[in-house]
Structure 1
Amino acid sequence: MCVVITVLSCDLLFPTAMGIFSVLALPLLLLGISGIIYIYQSVRWLLSKSAVQNKVVVITDAISGLGKECSRVFHAGGARLVLCGRNWEKLEALYDALISVTDPSMTYAPKLILLDITDINCIRDVAKEILNCYGCVDVLINNASMKVKGAVQSISLELDKKIMDANYFGPITLTKAILPNMISRRTGQIVLINSIQGKIGIPFRAAYAASKHAAVGFFDCLRAEMEEFDISVSTVNPTFICSYHRQPAPGNWEASIWKFFFRKVSYGVHPVEVAEEVLATVSRKKQEVLMANPIPRAAVYIRTFFPELFFAIVASGIREKLKTEEEN
């Protein structure tokens, strides 16, 4: 009789244990996934930092939101930065911000260069200043850009040209000026921070999309031509850059989890994300990166393989927008 009671007691306890395990299974699984993500990102970050240590890295429009984040991650990685921008006071403010949060024994004080990427005639002279800083350039990050929004008929030809200067002629002029130094050393990397609009055209952004398409075409050709000189050419194409409503402190596990899940429902990307991707692109010498969520990423493929469907969807969206405006 005692034996029977013992067996029954175990049978009664077993479902309870299974129930507890079932309740804890999902949290444990999520905790395990978060741990793996954190470890992966930490290892990737350390490898990326070591890859740019002591490298001469030039960043154009370093005073923009994305430029500041790129400056921060490359400075923390021990790169010898040459920061370019069109406003000297903002460059000095960025300089102060960078050196105030890093160990001077582990980093280099950035060099500052005034550069207006739309002033094509002055770019070659500025390129000489850049090369004089350290005698060479290991990584050139073309970050400067200008946006405009409006119907084709409402944008003047002068503004079209200005957009093309900022987004196409400026970057390629600076690249051509720096390129001979890289070719002579048979090493270097050129990075173009472009846009998904270099892949697909979006209504009311004709000038911007045209300049981004032109830049992609140029750097795609350049990539093939520079292969024999061991010079890498990379393009990073994010969707529009936005800000999260909630931004955890960088470097902790919560930030990793937040970005992993929040990216799934957000169409834009934060400058921190793009900067970290640029660092990873440089360290791993990626050729092309598309930073997009499922919907805009799908649009790129639909445009490629089903163009008629893509054009119909875009045209329908415009008609609906105009109809809504008329109703309002």
Structure 2
Amino acid sequence: MFIVKMGVLAVLIFPLLLFGISGIIYIYRAVGRLMSKSAVQNKVVVITDAISGLGKECSRVFHSGGARLVLCGKTWEKLEALYNALISVADPSVTFTPKLVLLDLSDINCIQDVAKEILDCYGCVDILINNASMKVKGPVQSISLELDKKIMDANYFGPITLTKALLPNMISRRTGQVVLVNNIQGKLGVPFRAAYAASKHAAQGFFDCLRAEVEEFDVCISTVSPTFIRSYHVQPEPGNWEASIWKFFFRKLAYGVHPMEVAEEVLRTVSRKKQEVFMANAIPKAALYIRTFFPELFFAIIASGVKEKQKLEFPPPERYP
């Protein structure tokens, strides 16, 4: 009888305990979001490629947090559309009207002038979010050197040129934060994306070095590296990926995160001044571990996949804006 009563008691307590834990987690996250938003209130935040999926989400979360936004993008019409979307849903008593600046990070020659325009908006920059990126896919031998250079300009030279132009303002004020939205390929090369991976490796290395150099000036350098940022409506394609270890492995690598998730993480990174964040499920994290400690195994898996791929006719290189 005693055992039966204890069993009934356990059945009754378990849902209450689960409900209580869920409530605590919800409250903790809600408080965290409020603290993150309060940390960026009145801060001058520059977002590059604000018209991309992630850029729009970052603009939304920082604008609602009361940041003074400077939104950069290549197309004025799209910047205006983003501007209208932000001010139409915001409370004007707690938000600032965003500033708009035309910027193409792949055009290195114009960045110095645009940096002056950015500084003229509010006289300073508190937070720079380097978000712009260009992708290319295809075998190394089919990608022209010209396209390699364009990828490097957009993903490496562009962000570091803008950062160098705005950095003296942060150093002189002894405050500021630079956030690089990078990618898993800044740490892990994936076949048929050599130019993209190389640019992301370069950016990772630059900002890792910069972090140590500017620490004495109280300037924080952060990197946020998701696996892949998927579009709003695209989900991983179904298929018989389990036919080989390589296909299963890279299907897991290709699972992207939603732009909204990344934007919320960027906000947390800024408010808590995190130095590095890696957004990935268990498979990509395991891949990094294998690459570091068991490189022969990792390279064998990669090579087997490339051989499979080369049996099929590879499509022409695809360029993405």
1:111 maps to which of 65, 77, 99: 99
Alpha-carbon separation, structure 2, partners of 1:120 and 1:51: 32
Distance in 1 between the 2:226 and 2:84 partners?
A: 28
Q: Does 1:180 align with 2:168?
A: yes
- Greater C-alpha radius of gyration: 1
What is the CA–CA distance in structure 1 between the aligned matches of 2:128 and 2:294, rounded to whole Å?
36
1:240 matched residue in structure 2? 228
3-state SS of the aligned residue for 1:100?
helix
Whole-angstrom distance in 1 between the partners of 2:67 and 2:271: 12
Q: Which residue of 255, 275, 278 maps to 2:263?
A: 275
Q: Secondary structure of the residue that 1:148 maps to in structure 2?
A: strand
Q: Give the Cα separation in 2 of the matches to 1:265 and 1:304.
A: 16
Superposition pairs of residues 198-277 of structure 1, within 5 angstroms = 198-242=186-230, 267-277=255-265
For 2:89, the equivalent position in structure 1 comes to 101
- Aligned residue among 39, 54, 57 for 2:45: 57
8 Å contact from structure 1 (residues 241, 269) kept in 2: yes
The answer on 1:134 being equivalent to 2:118 is no
- Residues 1:163 and 2:151 aligned together: yes
Q: Rate the CA distance shift 1:244–1:159 in 2: closer, same or farther, 3 A.
A: closer
- Are residue 153 (structure 1) and residue 141 (structure 2) matched? yes
Q: What amino acid is the match of 1:99?
A: I
Aligned to 2:247: none
Contact 1:144 1:167 in 2 (8 A): yes
Letter in 2 for 1:188: G
Q: CA deviation at 1:241?
A: 1.2
Answer yes or no: is the 8 Å Cα contact 2:53–2:232 preserved in 1: no
> What do the CA deviations read for 1:218-259 (whole angstroms, capped 9, x no partner)?
001100000111100001000111257799xxxxxxxxxxxx
Measured in 2, the distance between the counterparts of 1:91 and 1:243 equals 19
Q: Kindly tell me: are residues 128 and 71 of structure 1, through their superposed partners in 2, closer, same or farther at Cα, counting changes over 3 Å?
A: same
Give the aligned residue type for 1:98. L
**Structure 1: stretches of 5+ with no match in the other structure:** 1-10, 248-263
Cα distance in 1, alignment partners of residues 204 and 165 from structure 2: 19
Cα 1:101–1:266, aligned 2, differ >3 Å: closer, same or farther?
A: farther
AA in 2 matched with 1:34: S
Q: Secondary structure, in 3 states, of the residue corresponding to 2:23?
A: helix
User: Does the 8 Å contact 2:253/2:284 carry over to 1?
Assistant: no
Instruction: For residues 137-196 of structure 1, give each alpha carbon's deviation from its aligned partner in whole angstroms, at most 9, with x where no partner exists.
Output: 000000000011111011111100000000000000000100111111111000100001
| TM-score, length of structure 2 as denominator length | 0.87
Asked if 2 retains the 8 angstrom alpha-carbon contact of 1:73 and 1:276, the reply is: yes
Partner of 1:31: 19
Tell whether 2:59 aligns with 1:71: yes
Residue in 1 aligned with 2:302?
314
Letter in 2 for 1:225: E
Of 292, 298, 323, which residue of structure 1 is paired with 2:286? 298
The Cα offsets for residues 54-106 of structure 1, whole Å up to 9 and x where unpaired, read as 00000000000000000000001000000000000110110111111110000
- Alpha-carbon contact 2:181-2:225 (below 8 Å) kept: yes
CA distance in 2, matches of 1:125, 1:237: 29
Shift of 1:23: 4.5
1:33-71 Cα distance to aligned partner (Å, 9 max, x none): 322221121011011011100000000000000000000
**Contact residue 266 and residue 293 of structure 1 kept, 8 A:** no
Which one is further off, 302-311 or 162-171?
302-311
TM-score of the pair, normalised by structure 1: 0.86
| Number of residue pairs matched by the alignment | 297
